[in-house]
Structure 1
Amino acid sequence: MINIVDLFSGAGGLTEGFRGSEFNIVSHVEMDKAACQTLQVREIYYHLKNNNNLNNYNEYLAGNLSFSQLTSSVPESITNKIINLPICEEHIQSIFNRIDAELSDNSVHGIIGGPPCQAYSTIGRARNESKKHEDQRIYLYKYYIEFLRKYSPDFFIFENVKGLLSYKDVDGNLLFPKIEKDFQNALGENSYVLQHQIINSADFGVPQKRERLIIFGRKPSFNGFNFFDDLSHFKTNPPTLNELFYDLPIMKNGETNNDYRPVEPVEFVKKFIRTEEFPLTQNISRKNNLNDLEIYKIVVQEKLNTNNNLKYSDLPQELIKHKKSNIFLDRFKALQGDSISHTVVAHISKDGHYYIHPDINQNRSISVREAARIQTFPDDFYFENSRTAAFKQIGNAVPPLLSKAFGKVIMNILSGS
């Protein structure tokens, strides 16, 4: 059994790739309460699945069982895996103690995760420049290294935005070489061998252009392989959004519709997304005002006609309500049905203007479940505890289908295949 500790877990997209008989998720560490509730529900799902007793989970999805009733139906050891604390100086020893209690003297073989990425993102970098000296998020990676020192895992996977490669520290020098050196020397000089690469999730079957920096570290004793060369064997083409959404119900803005269409889902959805024994959940769309709905129609029509995104300043004058119409010109963006999505980010929790449904007749932004499908979360994955919280967790996540490729590479490496 390969013991994994998951840091900065979010909703657990990265850990979805490390599920199964070979891996044991020892602990998730996450500061957001709603995301921790999501993690608890997912741990319960796997516990019940492994015991061939998913009835309570089904009842929960159907609304016949409360959150507290669901959590009380399993041993506390299942939900105790989730540690709802920020990773910081104040709490790190408490986190270590909780993980140690779960380990029962066993080793940690792998650490996975990545700290919040807003500090490194190229979006808003100029705005955040003045706060750089006091922005503690910049150095959260140092706490990640504290976990490496404490548990000395055989490998680790660190995920973040590609902007980290160009981010400059307070001294004006690139931060990434410093991070590399700190990782390499976490257990003493030359303790970890590092590889890093920008990965596009779309290359691994995720119907979304999502580029992220992946750092893979291993102890020198695990030699003779290249993580990213092995990962390339799992490349595959993603479905289009029309294919991805084909079996989901047609609905208008402000509606909730949790009834699958009476059609055969495409093979991708049958293989990775849909589980027949569970009801559809969280297919919730936002309510929009009439002005936004008129804009949605125009933006989608432009996308259909020219494959371009209409600039805000090019809208009919009577629909332009923002005084500064010459900035944020791409504030409305339609998805393209015969292609894949642009990157789903946490801002989707604030509004859906950047993710307008490709079907002009539905005239709405995408639902929670549609966003989750774009990220390749299976339909049986339930997000706590509100629509806004669900969108935020989805936008921050590593796509599970990509993480499954990570898990397969690790499994092949450790099994010597």
Structure 2
Amino acid sequence: MTPDNRQLIRRSKIARLHVGAVPRALEICSGCGGLSLGLKTAGFELSAHIEIDSEAAESYALNFGGDRAAESEWAKPRDMERCSASQLVSDLGFKTSAAESFDLLAAGLPCQAFARIGRSKLRSVAGEEDAFQKDPRAALYRRFLQYVEDTQPLIILIENVPDILNFGGHNVPEEICEALERTGYRTSYTILNAAYFGVPQVRERLFIVALANELDQAPKFPVPLHFLDLPKGYEGSRRVALKHVDKTSRYFHAIPTPHRTLKNAVGTREALEDLPRITEHAIAPSVIRKRKLNDTLPYRDLKNRISSYAITMRAWPGFETDDAASGHLVRLTPRDFPIFAKMKHGGDYPHAREVAEELLAEAAATSGLAGARKHSKAYRELRASIVPPYDPNKFPNKWWKLDPSKPSRTLTAHMGKDTYSHIHYDSTQRRTISVREAARLQSFPDGFAFAGAMNSAFRQIGNAVPPLLALAVAKALKSLLCGTARGKKGATDRRAA
């Protein structure tokens, strides 16, 4: 596509938006739809998406498919490496070409795609050299650039982990910005923390924003709404990620920091307190085993104590709930229930082991094994029934008990395997968090449904962009886009004439 053709397509999109058209979004690697939910709530139309995971794609269809059938083309999982933009619009029955169909292109590309990619290699991906075309590590990025070329979006939004700033010593976002600039975009990147934007979770994410030159606007990022002193661990991780960031770079946007006068970040009690108390796992595990992910339970009656955050989760436009919500499944780990009950808030795995050793000593005394040899069969069996086997020196962060007054730690896709990283703060419930509680901590509204079984739902939640963070970013982009469309119409018409 020639530069002149690119300009004509982009200017046509600006003119379309000026007359009141809704900006259309295509998201690649959409997952279950955390970023999409933010875009939709900010006023973008979710025209199409691509997601290879079948259960995440099913969740996406459940929540955004509307009247579309579950087996429709729109709901199908797709592989971005095998599906072209032109094939996508053809499958979906669009009457417009790929270049005409989308105003915003978003992506949460897997970070592995960027590992150890050097500046010269990314330049080859952008078309200046061909030596890197066979390197499989760049396949997803190369494919993404092809989507940019084929769809000519006015806005590009990329989300990833902060470590992408320091992959093998390379600042990959800097290189991505350079590549996009050569194809006609003004670009910028920064780190945003979800807790600053109302999410009850300390979650650092890298965002890249690119705007078509025709918009004549600089990239924009949202301003924090909540204050939080970052925990030391996150400060250290941020320093490592920023090691190869040149603060004078024209692409790097200073990381937004909250002012102390802002309201405090949302704590886990504010986020979870109105959800049902779950104790069946300890007293009637068969109830949990029979419960389905989409079964609902009533909210707790807190009189007038329901938090504003809980109200937001119950009343999210398009995802409202009345007096009940679904997703109340928890893992059955009976050995560890007594440990959960006795752990202190903010306690980690070494602390959990200390608690377990205390419980073992009490049980040994009660059962008459206090003086038994520790290698005896009876003692070993008792120990195995009480004490987790993991070395606390090797797994210090394996467990963590929520602090009710503070945001949660980062939720990850590993929750699909275990949820010990998020033990409920309420010791009387002595358990790890439920699917719905994980969704709350990620800021998914209570009316958002998840396809698949419990493990899949946890994985989808951990992989997602927090919707409230996505909404903050999307609002910033939407205001910029709408303002440009209004203010630049005359100039656009003159240039196109």
TM-score (norm 1): 0.79
| Matches for 1:127-206 after TM superposition, within 5 Å | 136=136, 139-168=139-168, 173-185=170-182, 187=183, 191-206=184-199
Question: Are the equivalent residues in 2 in contact too, given 1:198–1:213 (CA < 8 A)?
Answer: yes
Per-residue CA shift, 1:348-388, capped at 9, x if unaligned? 11011111000011000000000000011000000001111
| Matches for 1:21-170 after TM superposition, within 5 Å | 22-44=43-65, 47=66, 74-76=67-69, 79-88=72-81, 90-92=82-84, 95-98=87-90, 101-102=93-94, 104-105=96-97, 106-117=100-111, 136=136, 139-168=139-168
Aligned residue pairs total: 362
| TM-superposed deviation, 1:337 | 0.9
Go from structure 1 to structure 2 and tell me whether the alpha carbon gap of 1:393 and 1:75 turns closer, same or farther (over 3 Å shift).
closer
Secondary structure of the structure 1 residue equivalent to 2:325: coil
TM-score (norm 2): 0.67
Secondary structure of the structure 2 residue equivalent to 1:19: helix
- Output the CA distance in 2 between the equivalents of 1:108 and 1:390: 29
Per-residue CA shift, 1:24-66, capped at 9, x if unaligned? 211110000001110111123xx3xxxxxxxxxxxxxxxxxxx
Per-residue CA shift, 1:299-355, capped at 9, x if unaligned? x33x3xxx4434166451734443645311221111111111000001111011111
Counterpart position of 1:295: 339
In structure 2, what residue type is equivalent to 1:232? V
1:400 aligns with 2:467: yes
| Matches for 1:293-372 after TM superposition, within 5 Å | 293-298=337-342, 300-301=343-344, 303=345, 307-311=346-350, 314=354, 315-316=356-357, 318=383, 319-322=386-389, 324-372=391-439
Q: Could you say what the CA RMSD is over the residues aligned between the two structures, in angstroms?
A: 2.9
- Output the CA distance in 1 between the equivalents of 2:85 and 2:482: 33
Per-residue CA shift, 1:210-250, capped at 9, x if unaligned? 0000000001222344402xx11655644211111121111
- Output the CA distance in 2 between the equivalents of 1:196 and 1:21: 21
Go from structure 1 to structure 2 and tell me whether the alpha carbon gap of 1:217 and 1:340 turns closer, same or farther (over 3 Å shift).
same
Question: Are the equivalent residues in 1 in contact too, given 2:73–2:91 (CA < 8 A)?
Answer: no
In structure 1, what residue type is equivalent to 2:73? N
- Output the CA distance in 1 between the equivalents of 2:113 and 2:334: 33
- Output the CA distance in 2 between the equivalents of 1:392 and 1:364: 18
Go from structure 1 to structure 2 and tell me whether the alpha carbon gap of 1:283 and 1:138 turns closer, same or farther (over 3 Å shift).
farther
Query: For 1:269, which of 265, 289, 310 is the aligned residue?
Result: 310
Query: For 1:241, which of 261, 264, 268 is the aligned residue?
Result: 268
Go from structure 1 to structure 2 and tell me whether the alpha carbon gap of 1:5 and 1:237 turns closer, same or farther (over 3 Å shift).
farther
1:281 aligns with 2:326: yes
Q: Structure 1: any 5+ residue segments left out of the alignment?
A: 48-73, 123-133
Per-residue CA shift, 1:255-297, capped at 9, x if unaligned? 457121122421222134443437411111111132x223323
- Output the CA distance in 2 between the equivalents of 1:196 and 1:176: 7
- Output the CA distance in 2 between the equivalents of 1:93 and 1:25: 15
Counterpart position of 2:365: none
Pick the structure with greater CA Rg. Answer: 2
Per-residue CA shift, 1:175-218, capped at 9, x if unaligned? 44432322222x3xxx1111100100100000000000000000
How high is the sequence identity, in percent, across the aligned residues?
27
Go from structure 1 to structure 2 and tell me whether the alpha carbon gap of 1:199 and 1:280 turns closer, same or farther (over 3 Å shift).
same
Secondary structure of the structure 1 residue equivalent to 2:25: strand
Q: Structure 2: any 5+ residue segments left out of the alignment?
A: 1-21, 117-133, 227-262, 361-382, 485-497
- Output the CA distance in 2 between the equivalents of 1:278 and 1:92: 44
- Output the CA distance in 1 between the equivalents of 2:115 and 2:444: 24
- Greater displacement, 380-389 / 99-108: 99-108
Go from structure 1 to structure 2 and tell me whether the alpha carbon gap of 1:184 and 1:31 turns closer, same or farther (over 3 Å shift).
same
